[in-house]
Structure 1
Amino acid sequence: MVKAVVLGASGGIGQPLSLLLKASPLVDELALYDVVNTPGVAADLSHISSTAKITGYLPKDDGLKNALTGADIVVIPAGIPRKPGMTRDDLFKINAGIVRDLATGIAAHSPKAFVLVISNPVNSTVPIAAEVLKAAGVFDPKRLFGVTTLDVVRAETFTQVYSGKKVPSDATVPVIGGHSGPTIVPLFSKVSPKFEIPADKYEDLVHRVQFGGDEVVKAKDGAGSATLSMAYAGFRFAEAVIKASKGEKGIVEPTFVYLPGVAGGDEIVKATGVEFFSTPVELGPNGAEKAINILDGVTAREQELIAEAIKGLQTNIETGVQFIKNPATK
């Protein structure tokens, strides 16, 4: 039996994510939580003839506690969306408080669940969740993930013309670092099976992967940000975590994790100087079983991109940590 929970289920990401989880044969029970509209979303999805039994909760009547109790996997897309002209960092002050409060609920009611953070800015909200869980004495680094899968999905899609794959995801395109702008580093030198990016297209492709979200914000003309593609990416990663938890072998996905708590992570900390980093991770029954270091053998240009990403990550991570440790300064 797998109980999945979506925190922020009524929003632009939360609704399509909840639909995908409701349709998944891997989910037996689905609990939805948000500050508005959740019973209606749950009622709508309950008419779908799939396996999962569905419930919807609001904050009243211990809604968060009831949603989280017994959870195996918790996905957090809660927060405000990005608007034109906003960076992910602009979202910080509002979304940081939301993630702090939800993480507090997880610590109390589902401390053993796999926790997948989508709420932006991921580079800061994952450290926030970690600090809350640490303070509660229930932090397991193998069970806390920042979802960076959308960057991978974009890299697969944008390079399809060069990979030649009918299904873009049949090519493995590693994306490492973080989940905002220059902290996102696609490693085109490490694609599998191998294919070449034309030299005159390389910089544009890197920029498109890093700032693909801006394309969507601009195209939606004030009506929102990347919600449908993010929901797909969140579901893809959640599905991988569930499959691995059930014993399926060989599942490797890039994700933003606390490296010192994951096997193989110390080597990457030594190479990068940061404790949170998105890298390919081998998933298993306990979550993040092994962090895989793919930094060796990257190109000179990729080394430059990684150096730039690390600078941004250092600031983002510290911002998240200090939000919890020194709340008076936020």
Structure 2
Amino acid sequence: MVKVVICGAAGGIGQPLSLLLKQSDLISHLALYDVVNAAGVAADLSHINTKSKVTGHGKESMDEALKNAHTVVIPAGVPRKPGMTRDDLFKINAGIVRDLAEGVVRNCPNAFVLVISNPVNSTVPIVCEVFKKHGIFNPKRVFGISTLDVVRSSRFVSEVNPKIDPATRVTVVGGHSGVTIVPLLSKLPHGFVDSLSKEQLDALTHRIQYGGDEVVKAKDGAGSATLSMAYAGARFTLALLDAVIGGKQGLIESTYVNLDADPQATASFKEKTGLEYFAQDVEFGPEGVSRILPLPTVSAYEQTLLDNAFPELKANISKGVSFITESA
């Protein structure tokens, strides 16, 4: 029995994410939790003729939803509105994520936990601190889904140079907001970066870092990036399940993780930067993180981006950690 729980399943990300996951034969039970409308979404999805059963769970049945879960995906929270940064979301979404993490502790302490709720740079440390407080923290099993940055990079790069297939994977490191998003475009084929002027490279980098703002503006107050985030979230979740359940090897995604998930590979980086969390290419295995791949050699331009990202990341991480430790 592979039970996957979507926390926030009736929301703008949760509904399309649930639809995409309903199509997977790897999942035998899809449990949908939300404070409103989960039952309706579950009833709708349950009519789809794939193998998994679907159950809906409302505000008073979080524990029932999470009981014995294999994987918990958390898109719950409020979306960004025009003029709102990911950091503006913190006070609202931090409490939601904390409460869901406590639910995991009670009901499925060995589950893989995949965090979409923004700001990811802070909400992932919140989950980890809750788990540490209860003595169940396993850094190999907690992930911040930063896959949308990779998806956007691949798409935007292919628009600049049609010779590059949109499916070409771009390595993106750092975090999951603004200047903390660092696309390593120098690693792309066809002399991609060399073909760009400094102004073009700046514009493309900025578009990748702030792509979410395009969607928020285009939706004119009606929401943020929900469909593309659901696609990215499903891609990440299914890759992890392919490795953990299907036994597939060599599956790699960029994800925001606690660097203790692979201490030998990250020790020197942690010492140099003082960071406990970082988005980097991770290879999946039966325990979640199999290994964290080394940070590639970066260009001088990318090093400048990293130098700008590090202080912001430190502040984001500290904010998430303090939310738990100072309220204990």
TM-score class, shorter-chain normalisation, is: over 0.9
2:213 aligned residue? 214
Q: Partners in 2 of 1:271 and 1:198 — Cα distance?
A: 31
1:147 alignment partner in structure 2: 145
| Equivalent position amino acid for 2:180 in 1 | T
Match of 1:68 in 2: 66
Q: CA separation in 2, counterparts of 1:104 and 1:223?
A: 31
Residue of structure 1 equivalent to 2:233: 234
Q: Determine if the alignment matches structure 1 residue 111 to structure 2 residue 117.
A: no
Q: State the one-letter code of the partner of 2:211.
A: G
Alignment root-mean-square deviation, CA: 1.4
Contact 1:260 1:269 in 2 (8 A): no
1:282 aligns with 2:283: yes
Native 8 Å contact 2:6 2:72 kept in 1: yes
After superposition, residues 1-330 of structure 1 pair within 5 angstroms as 1-60=1-60, 63-161=61-159, 162=161, 164-166=163-165, 168-169=166-167, 171-191=168-188, 195-196=192-193, 197-199=195-197, 200-246=199-245, 247-263=247-263, 264-295=265-296, 297-327=297-327
Q: Which deviates the most, 196-205 or 128-137?
A: 196-205
Q: Contact 2:261–2:289 (CA<8 Å) still a contact in 1?
A: no
CA distance in 2, matches of 1:109, 1:194: 51
SS at the partner of 1:116?
strand
Pick which of 176-185 and 157-166 moved more. 157-166
The Cα of 1:108 is off from its aligned counterpart by 1.2
Q: In the comparison of the two structures, how many residue pairs are matched?
A: 323
Secondary structure class of the residue paired with 2:298: coil
- Hey, what's the Cα distance between the residues in 2 that align with 1:53 and 1:252? 29
Cα deviation, 1:84-110, whole Å, max 9, x if unaligned, reads 000000000000000000000001111
**In 2: Cα distance, 1:266 partner to 1:190 partner:** 24
CA distance in 2, matches of 1:220, 1:133: 36
Question: Aligned letter for 1:84?
Answer: P
Contact 1:147 1:256 in 2 (8 A): yes
**Greater than 3 Å deviation, 4+ residue runs:** 192-197
User: Within 2, Cα distance between the matches of 1:67 and 1:15?
Assistant: 16
Q: Offset at 1:14?
A: 0.5
Note if contact 1:172-1:192 (Cα within 8 Å) is conserved in structure 2. no
Any unmatched runs of 5+ in structure 2?
Answer: none
2:119 aligned partner, one-letter code: P
Give me the whole-angstrom Cα distance separating, in 2, the residues matched to 1:7 and 1:163.
38
Normalised TM-score (structure 2): 0.95
Which AA in structure 2 matches 1:210? Q
- Residue 173 of structure 1 aligns to a residue whose secondary structure is coil
* 1:172 Cα deviation from its structure 2 partner: 2.1
When structure 1 is superposed on structure 2, of 195-204 and 319-328 the one drifting more is: 195-204
Shift, 1:265, TM fit: 2.5
Alignment check: 8 A CA contact 1:265 1:290 kept:
no
Give SS of 1:278's match.
strand
Larger CA deviation: 135-144 vs 264-273? 264-273
Q: Look up the SS of the partner of 1:248 in the other structure.
A: coil
CA contact 2:98–2:126 (8 Å) conserved in 1: yes
**Cα distance in structure 2, aligned partners of 1:265 and 1:66:** 37
5+ unaligned residues in a row in structure 1: which ranges?
none
Conserved in 2, the CA contact under 8 Å of 1:57 and 1:67? yes
User: Deviation at 1:194?
Assistant: 6.1
1:177 and 1:113 mapped to 2: Cα distance? 25
CA distance, structure 1, for counterparts of residue 303 and residue 132 of structure 2 = 33
Q: How far off its partner does 1:195 sit?
A: 3.6
Contact 2:157 2:164 in 1 (8 A): no
Percent identity between matched residues is 57
Alpha-carbon offset, residue 273 of structure 1: 2.1
Q: 8 Å contact 1:4–1:72 — kept in the other structure?
A: yes
1:293 and 1:272, CA in 2 relative to 1: closer, same or farther beyond 3 A? Answer: farther
Deviations 1:146-196 (A, max 9, x none): 000000000000001426244x12x12100000000010001012368644
Measure, in 2, the Cα distance between the counterparts of 1:67 and 1:192.
45
Q: Residue 5 of structure 1 aligns to a residue in which SS? A: strand
Distance in 2, Cα, partners of 1:193 & 1:235: 30
Q: Which residue type is aligned with residue 278 of structure 2? A: F
